[in-house]
A and B are shown apart, each in its own frame.
Chain A
């Protein structure tokens, strides 16, 4: 096993692409080290990306935010500008693990770990976040939902590294929210989760919407039909009921000890309603 800490993306990509055997990218390590400890992975090469210039920063640009792949979730919570613009993304990131884990874990890692129950991913999908992927063939920007392809699997090719997650600049009268159900009060993995992102017109009518559900399918679901239910509404009771019904119907959950299919479907609808209500209020809707 070899540990390297490259100083540039080019070097990191080159080392990963040129490696034979198993390689792993290390940012926060809160998934990787657990998998190594459990014997699920024994990498021949560990590429620590934390010393790469710019990867540990949140940059606010004219287009929005660029969150470096090595930025711990705790730092997201400390960014007043990010919290103001994307409170739902930040509250989702802050739900991952304990204070100790928060100091290490990253949203990019959460995305690449490709757990169907990842907390930050539904919020990022609802936010329309994009991932900047750097690889041997160059740089490309893709929607975050195209990164995980199934439990533990991603669309990233050998040698590819996500450099940053991009969030758009906020349109006026916009709000997002993320909620999850867990059987405990803290420190657990989502049984069901929902992220909602809304923009309203000047009359408080929903102009655009994105609804994402977590832990109810092999990957996070972006539910277009749910967005259509919300668009044109002021989130009256009938709209919320339709939203719940559409979300429950969109779920393709598994039955396991943490929740039955029936339970997950019902809760998905309830969480979508509540997240939509919060997002609406954050957007200034009444």
Chain B
């Protein structure tokens, strides 16, 4: 089976890869490009651990084919920090201990980044609603919500 040749932009870099027609973006990221930040929790769009931003839309990369990303822009967790400088959301997740096992964390960070980009001053309810597509079985969500609230304050001041 011949592969599909794809040219796309990931975290600002032009990336070219070959993938199978039925290969998901998540599998391409993890298995072909070595970007293992996005996690596979369910593989069916329920848990949000594989969240990425595709042309300014938050999506589950397990529900996108790699072939579909031709000519598009993908943002993953690997593009969130600038070198050693963490994104305010990453910093606040650490300060608030908003993670335990960490599997859901990249998805939460990407979803929170998308949320704050579109709504810089969300209410607690808006945060909980906005992050409802991400499942966490460790924290009980409260610490995650506090971290996002705190990051929103920092980002507004920046």
Residues on A close to B: CB < 8 A? 1-3, 5, 26, 28-30, 33-34, 36-38, 46, 48, 50, 72, 74, 97-101, 103-104, 186-187
Contacts and interface: CB of A to CB of B under 8 A. Distances in A.
**Residue of B24, B51, B68 with most chain A CB atoms under a 10 A cut-off:** B68
Interface residues of B, number: 33
Interface in B114-139: 114-115, 129-134
Interface of B: 1, 4, 20-22, 24, 43-46, 48, 51, 54, 57-60, 62-65, 67-68, 70, 111, 114-115, 129-134
A1 B57 CA distance: 27
Contacts of B46: 187
A100 B51 contact: yes
Nearest to B128: A186
Given A99-B58, A103-B59, A48 B45 contact: no
A97 B46 CA distance: 8
Contact of A37 (B21, B43, B70): B43
Given A3-B67, A34-B45, A100-B111, A72 B24 contact: no
Contact of B62 (A33, A46, A50, A74): A33
A72 B54 CA distance: 13
Contact of A103 (B21, B57, B62, B65): B57
A3 B21 contact: yes
A46 B44 CA distance: 18
A99 B111 contact: yes
Q: Mostly helix, strand, loop or mixed at chain B's interface? A: mixed
16 contacts: A1-B21, A1-B22, A3-B4, A3-B22, A5-B70, A29-B68, A30-B63, A36-B22, A38-B44, A48-B68, A72-B57, A99-B111, A99-B130, A101-B60, A101-B133, A103-B59
B25 to A, nearest CB: 10
A121 B60 CA distance: 24
Given A26-B65, A98-B132, A100-B48, 16 more contacts: A1-B20, A3-B4, A3-B22, A26-B68, A33-B62, A33-B63, A33-B64, A48-B67, A50-B68, A99-B133, A100-B45, A100-B60, A104-B57, A186-B129, A186-B132, A187-B132
